[in-house]
A and B are shown apart, each in its own frame.
Chain A
Amino acid sequence: MEKKEKNSWLDNPSIISNVVIVLILIIIILSQSVAIKSNLSTYAILNNVINHNSIYLLVLIYFLALKTNIGKKYFNYLNLFLIILYLINSVTSFLTILQSFSLVSLFSFALNISLFTYLFHIFFKKTGVWKEFKLEKSPFNDISNDSYFYIIVVLSVSLLAINLIETTTINAVLLVLLESIYYIMFSRYVYLYGLFLNKKHIKEFSSMKDIATGIIEDVKEVKEDIDEDIKKSKKPKKKKASKSRGDK
């Protein structure tokens, strides 16, 4: 019986990227509309809401670029842009801790820094940078792809729990919930890329193994042929030697 692999939508990177795009669009539109409804001043909307949505907008550009052929060609460069974005984000979240220390700022910093290390170790793998700077020796490389994913899931869920305690309005609850789903889906996308790289590595290894076993079999056959030839060449010599003894 052949077992058919059941691929759920969670294992499809194309669907995950579409989900992330839709989530970002909902977050941006929802936060803008809620800000307008709650009679915030223009300055407050510009200052708070645009600041809140700027990272989402930049990530949206990344995912939309991936849908084009140019984006696919410059995939590594887009990943570099994403890594730099999350590096800046983790630095700014550290500065947020200095400005107003709270459990939320602490957890968002932990989430951003773990996302940055995750992106750095997955997206640079198998690139020229990885080989040139010998990044396989990095201590963060010892953490597996699954562990990174679950760390981010746990951190985003705990951040959601803390945020839910603080929130009082339904809109804020919805926004916080969407944000945590976005983090999980985004890390799932990175996880799938890490899985793809591992599978590729295993494929390369198995194909090399096949080639090596093929070569060994060929060598064995050649050796058997040579042995047979040697046996054949030795037998007539013995007969000749016995004949010569008989003559004497």
Chain B
Amino acid sequence: MNMFDEIEKVKKDFPKFKNVSQEVSSYSLNGYQRFAVVLYIILFSIGIILGNLFPTCGSISEFNSNCSTKEFNFALMVLVWGGSLLVFVFFFAIGHIIELLKDISKKLEKLK
């Protein structure tokens, strides 16, 4: 059996863009989460800048011991992006936990 036939039987399609955008727009961000988004955007651009600031030698020239062609540092950029994603998730999760705690306290006040 063809590999693509096997995939075609089980593969999942993308969700509709309208539904996703509606879900995202309905979600309100608190201070921590806004800070996380802004920080992620800043670190994302820093990753591109660092990749450009610290170029590497081209694939062939590195074995010839003369660095004639310089390449954009893709690995460094991906590394910074990975780190920024972790920082983003950390602050975003803190914001989410605070939001949940606020909801709990509101419900407890109503019960009193």
Contacts and interface: CB of A to CB of B under 8 A. Distances in A.
Interface of A: 12-14, 17, 31, 34-35, 38, 40, 44, 47-52, 54-55, 66, 69, 72-77, 80, 88-89, 92-93, 95-96, 99-100, 102, 104-105, 127-129, 132-133, 163, 166-169, 171-172, 175-176, 179, 192-193, 196, 200
Given A96-B72, A167-B64, A75 B77 contact: no
Contact of A127 (B13, B54, B55): B13
A92 B65 contact: no
A54 B10 contact: no
Given A51-B76, A99-B72, 12 more contacts: A44-B62, A51-B71, A51-B75, A54-B75, A55-B74, A72-B6, A75-B11, A92-B72, A95-B51, A104-B69, A132-B17, A175-B63
B60 A51 contact: no
B27 interface: no
Contacts of A51: 56, 71, 73-76
Interface of B: 2-8, 10-18, 51-52, 54-65, 68-78
Given A48-B57, A51-B75, A166-B60, A73 B2 contact: no
B59 A14 contact: no
26 contacts: A13-B2, A31-B59, A34-B63, A40-B62, A44-B62, A47-B54, A48-B62, A51-B56, A52-B56, A54-B74, A66-B3, A76-B14, A80-B14, A95-B72, A96-B55, A99-B70, A100-B69, A104-B69, A127-B13, A128-B17, A129-B17, A163-B60, A167-B64, A169-B64, A175-B60, A175-B63
Contact of B58 (A73, A74, A104, A128): A104
Contacts of B3: 12-14, 17, 66
Contacts of A44: 57, 62
Contact of A96 (B5, B8, B18, B70): B70
B78 A167 contact: no
Contacts of B63: 34-35, 38, 169, 171-172, 175
B4 A193 contact: yes
Contacts of A13: 2-4
A179 to B, nearest CB: 7
Given A14-B3, A172-B60, A175-B59, A76 B12 contact: yes
B69 A102 contact: yes
A50 B74 CA distance: 9
Contact of B71 (A34, A66, A96, A192): A96
A165 to B, nearest CB: 10
B10 A72 contact: yes
B4 A196 contact: yes
CB-CB nearest 4 A-B residue pairs: A51-B75, A92-B72, A75-B11, A14-B3
A51 to B, nearest CB: 4
A176 B14 contact: no
